[in-house]
């Protein structure tokens, strides 16, 4: 709704004539302020204009650097040109690593065993910063550029609501119903600068990873074209020689790379470069979004995949079998809560307390070999290791009491022996067929042919 109409409905007369005949000017109502998460891309640029022209807000832009290498000067200039009343920028890389990336690494959070959650982890941080700036600016609302189909709208909306239930949330791209083409026309009509040389993909990136969607990737049968990748070399172009990196952890946090102590931001950036050079960290996944759609997602996350594996290698040395088992289950829950936008929740706080407790002995060194698009852990050690050579060895100095194994197995196998005697599984059924796939059975249903009987949303 245009501003004039909005104000008319609001019923604030801009001028009025008193009985005396003198003209009294009652103040023009101050436009309300909104803080928009601004990337400088087409959606959020059009949004700066739209929020003012169609909704009557004074727009404050907030651009957050989470390691996505934004050209802040250009972004600020653009926001001003489109009509933002104020432009704010925050270098949030350290906050991102410390409060979001490292906890997720410690938890081992990977969504659907594939996605290290880079985009998902940055959203609650941006939500928090939106709320902070909204308070500072005295804004009544915040805005983001997400569409109505993705996960990010959920994360922003729920994140903001969990921190500041009083703030209004506006998502222009969810409301305006414009196609990409219509947005470009809108931009041209209103002097909103169009981004130069746009990518054929939809991309979001930060220190922890790069998410690539749409364009040719929408066909899950089509291999991602090289143009989709920016951080990782194709295998053919990787060095022929393997490269070993040593990663040191202290209480579950990586603190050094090849003997060099590094702050989290630098450590991740360096490892991204090194592992990306060896073609590591490409992920190609058909993912289940929160809103119920399956979506083809491609990621590059060289540092994340290597760190997650290295961290797990230290944990395997220092955590007990039960700790590892519970932690693995919680890792899935942790990934779910990150993915679905429930970062600022009591549920998270509770799981995080357990995870933090598990990390107190997760210190040690891991050697990872990078070569030709893949990597593996080839060495690990920890001062708190539960791995005892004297117990594990098949050679000299074995202290394990093999005789005690007999009694242990006697008891361990007791219920199965009892059942075998009473129920005779081995005689009444074919033991070899206990788990055989039913390959000879005809399928119950014919799969609908693609494009003919496919279910439409």
The residues assigned a catalytic role are 43, 123, 152, 202
Which residues within the stretch 327-346 sit at the binding site for ligand ARG (CB under 6 A)? none
Smaller CB separation from ligand ARG, 248 or 287: 287
- Say whether 163 sits in a helix, a strand or coil: helix
Q: Residue 143: which of 21, 45, 27, 248 has the closest Cα?
A: 45
Instruction: Confirm or reject binding of residue 204 to ligand ARG (CB under 6 A).
Output: yes
Q: Residue 305: which of 114, 55, 96 has the closest Cα?
A: 114
Q: Give the helix/strand (H/E) hosting 286.
A: strand 282-288
Instruction: Confirm or reject binding of residue 211 to ligand ARG (CB under 6 A).
Output: yes
- Say whether 213 sits in a helix, a strand or coil: strand
CB of 145 within 8 A of CB of 172? yes
- Among 15-23, 196-204, 220-228, 230-238, which window interacts with ligand ARG (CB under 6 A)? 196-204
Whole-angstrom distance, CA of residue 61 vs CA of residue 316 = 45
Smaller CB separation from ligand ARG, 122 or 366: 122
- Report, in Å, the least distance between residue 119 CB and ligand ARG: 4
Instruction: Confirm or reject binding of residue 120 to ligand ARG (CB under 6 A).
Output: yes
Whole-angstrom distance, CA of residue 89 vs CA of residue 76 = 8
Smaller CB separation from ligand ARG, 31 or 215: 215
Instruction: Name which position in 157, 183, 248, 287 contacts ligand ARG (CB under 6 A).
Output: 287
Q: What residues contact 243, with CB distance under 8 A and at least 6 apart?
A: 274, 278, 369, 370, 371
Strand partners, 115: 111
- Report, in Å, the least distance between residue 278 CB and ligand ARG: 24
Smaller CB separation from ligand ARG, 7 or 289: 289
List the structure tokens of 46.
């059009």
- Report, in Å, the least distance between residue 338 CB and ligand ARG: 9
Instruction: Confirm or reject binding of residue 153 to ligand ARG (CB under 6 A).
Output: no
Instruction: Confirm or reject binding of residue 119 to ligand ARG (CB under 6 A).
Output: yes
CB of 93 within 8 A of CB of 266? no
Instruction: Confirm or reject binding of residue 183 to ligand ARG (CB under 6 A).
Output: no
- Report, in Å, the least distance between residue 13 CB and ligand ARG: 45
Q: Where does this chain bind ligand ARG (CB under 6 A)?
A: 119-120, 151, 202-204, 211, 213, 287, 297
């Amino acid at each position: 709704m245009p501003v004039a109409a909005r104000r008319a409905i609001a019923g604030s007369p801009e001028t009025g004539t008193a009985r005396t005949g003198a003209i009294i000017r009652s103040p023009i109502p101050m436009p309300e302020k909104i803080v928009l998460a601004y990337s400088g891309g087409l959606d959020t640029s059009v949004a700066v204009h739209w929020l003012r022209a169609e909704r009557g807000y004074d727009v404050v832009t907030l651009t957050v650097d989470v390691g996505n290498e934004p050209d802040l000067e250009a972004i600020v200039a653009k926001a001003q040109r489109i009509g933002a009343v104020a432009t704010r920028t925050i270098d949030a890389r350290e906050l991102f690593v410390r409060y979001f990336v490292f906890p997720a690494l410690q938890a081992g959070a990977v969504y659907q065993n594939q996605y290290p959650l880079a985009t998902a982890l940055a959203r609650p941080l941006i939500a928090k910063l939106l709320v902070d700036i909204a308070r500072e600016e005295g804004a009544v609302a915040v805005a983001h550029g997400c569409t109505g189909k993705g996960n990010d709208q959920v994360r922003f909306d729920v994140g903001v609501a969990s921190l500041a239930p009083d703030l209004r949330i506006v998502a222009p791209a969810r409301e305006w119903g414009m196609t990409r083409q219509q947005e470009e026309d809108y931009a041209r009509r209103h002097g909103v600068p169009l981004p130069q040389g746009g990518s054929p993909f939809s991309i979001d990136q930060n220190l922890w990873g790069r998410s690539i969607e749409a364009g040719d990737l929408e066909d899950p049968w089509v291999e991602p074209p090289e143009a989709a990748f920016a951080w990782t070399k194709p295998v053919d172009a990787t060095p022929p020689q393997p490269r070993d990196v040593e990663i040191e952890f202290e209480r579950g946090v990586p603190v050094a790379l090849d003997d060099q102590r590094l702050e989290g931001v630098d450590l991740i950036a360096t490892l991204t470069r090194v592992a990306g050079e060896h073609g590591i960290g490409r992920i190609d996944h058909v993912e289940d979004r929160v809103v119920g759609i399956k979506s083809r997602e491609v990621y590059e996350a060289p540092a994340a995949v290597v760190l997650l594996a290295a961290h797990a290698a230290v944990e395997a040395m220092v955590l007990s079998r039960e700790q590892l088992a519970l932690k693995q289950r919680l890792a899935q829950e942790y990934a779910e809560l990150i993915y679905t936008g429930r970062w600022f929740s009591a549920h998270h706080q509770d799981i995080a307390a357990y995870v933090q407790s598990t990390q107190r002995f997760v210190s040690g060194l891991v050697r990872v070999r990078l070569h030709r698009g893949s990597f593996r852990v080839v060495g690990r050690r920890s001062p708190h290791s539960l791995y005892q050579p004297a117990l594990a060895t098949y050679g000299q100095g074995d202290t394990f009491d093999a005789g005690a194994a007999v009694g242990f197995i006697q008891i361990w196998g007791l219920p199965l022996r009892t059942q075998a005697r009473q129920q005779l599984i081995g005689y009444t059924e074919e033991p070899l067929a206990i788990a055989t796939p039913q390959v000879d059975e005809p399928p119950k249903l014919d799969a609908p042919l693609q494009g003919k009987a496919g279910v439409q949303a």
